[in-house]
Amino acid sequence: MINSLTSYIHFFASSFSDPQKRKLVLNEFKRANKLPNEDQVFDRKKGIDQAIDWLLSSQKAMKTSKGIGSYHLITGWTSPYPETTGYLIPTLIDYGIKYNHNESIQAAIEAADWLITIQKQSGGWQGMRVDDQKPEVIFNTAQVVRGLARAYQYTGDKKYIEPIKKACDWLCDNQYHRGYWEQFAYPAPIRAFDTYVDVPLLMAYEIIGDERYKRTANMNLNWVIYRQQNEKSGWFQQCDNTNHDNRPCIHPIAYTIDGLIDGGAYFGYEKYIEAAKKAADMLLTQFHKDKYLHNRYNKNWNGTGYLNTAGCAQMAIVWMKFYQFTEEVHYLNAAKQINNWLLFIQDRKEFNLPETKGALSGSFPLWGRYEKFAFPNWAVKFFIDSIMLEQECTMEKAEQALDKKEKLSA
């Protein structure tokens, strides 16, 4: 508590000592309780264009590598995160293909090539930022695999295959027979959100064909739904990334749900989809009730804390995936409202710094507990993914309406 208070005093004092940063923080005070209502609509394309520009700027700010870091209002740019650089690769490639933006594709390939150079002898990739020099971590390694697999899918370059194989062999070797990871898990001992490890293993299976990758993913998904999830409420045990397991953060909760959705879609197993839906629907109920998404949720799905931008974008993605499964429009409407909030948060108008234009603060307002005073690159990643998925869903909805109209007039 004392350390937290000390850091807040330091961050506020430091930001107010700089005229530009002071304006940004004062503007946050003015708009902290002014999230837009359903009638306010923001320019989606402008938002993701600026977000991509910020990611490219972040990569350039790394100087000695092609990884991607984050920006802190007080301490500046971090060194690159291997984990988040990994899962930013599909975002950059998908945006580049959709909008014929070669620079984002080139940035993704350069990031993938850099990640190969820092793979550990074991096959894993380190946790946290490069400068932290941490040991390898299961979750982080899988997100690098996610990126390398997408780079391979796009380029067909076989140089990615051996690093993917080495990493996935390491992931399989370290899984316990019950289906979870304990050694090299972060934070220890075991984590439900490692469902987000499973899709990278399945992506690797499609490239390499090793059945062990598929078995390992399936075992973990089974372990989560049978051992970690409350059958009635859908809440997950051991699902936080900071060991607050009695009230996990929405960011890893959303990882867990998303991994179950994609794993269920891959295997064709309804049990995974239903497990994901149970948790997603509980959060949707709370969203409608509170007209807000909190940072943390306890076992009764009661929320606390300021809005977490990454977690919000992830839940919007989850709800849109259920819209695509069910065509139930309330999922899409909730996601669109979340995306409106995120576009509003991103749009700091003239109060931006060059280092923050296009980025999202980790919390809103930016002094919230999650990534306080920081602009994490993963929040930008999920924001872009969510906006692009909304565009896809909106197009699908329009096509369905047109088909219906044509059938009625036939």
Which tokens is 247 given? 């009230």
| Measured distance CA(81)–CA(227) in Å, rounded | 31
Upper half-sphere CA count for residue 401 (Cβ side, 13 Å): 7
| Measured distance CA(215)–CA(77) in Å, rounded | 40
Three-state helix/strand/coil letters over 323-376: HHHHCCHHHHHHHHHHHHHHHHHHCCHHHCCCCCCCCCCCEECCCCCCCCCEEC
290, 308, 166, 175: which is closest to 249 by C-alpha?
Answer: 308
List the pLDDT tens digit at each of the 410 positions of the chain. Answer: 556 778 889 999 999 999 999 999 999 999 998 899 877 889 999 999 999 999 999 999 998 999 999 999 999 999 999 999 999 999 999 999 999 999 999 999 999 999 999 999 999 999 999 999 999 999 999 999 999 999 999 999 999 999 999 999 999 999 999 999 999 998 878 999 999 999 999 999 999 999 999 999 999 999 999 999 999 999 999 999 998 999 999 999 999 999 999 999 999 999 999 999 999 999 999 999 999 999 999 999 999 999 999 999 999 999 999 999 999 999 999 999 999 999 999 999 999 999 999 999 999 999 999 999 999 999 999 999 999 999 999 988 776 665 655 555 55
Q: 3-state class of 151 per DSSP?
A: helix
152, 156, 134, 19: which is closest to 82 by C-alpha?
Answer: 134
- The contacts of residue 173 (CB under 8 Å, 6+ apart) are none
174, 169, 264, 261: which is closest to 213 by C-alpha?
Answer: 169
| Measured distance CA(185)–CA(401) in Å, rounded | 46
E strands in 154-203: none
Upper half-sphere CA count for residue 35 (Cβ side, 13 Å): 15
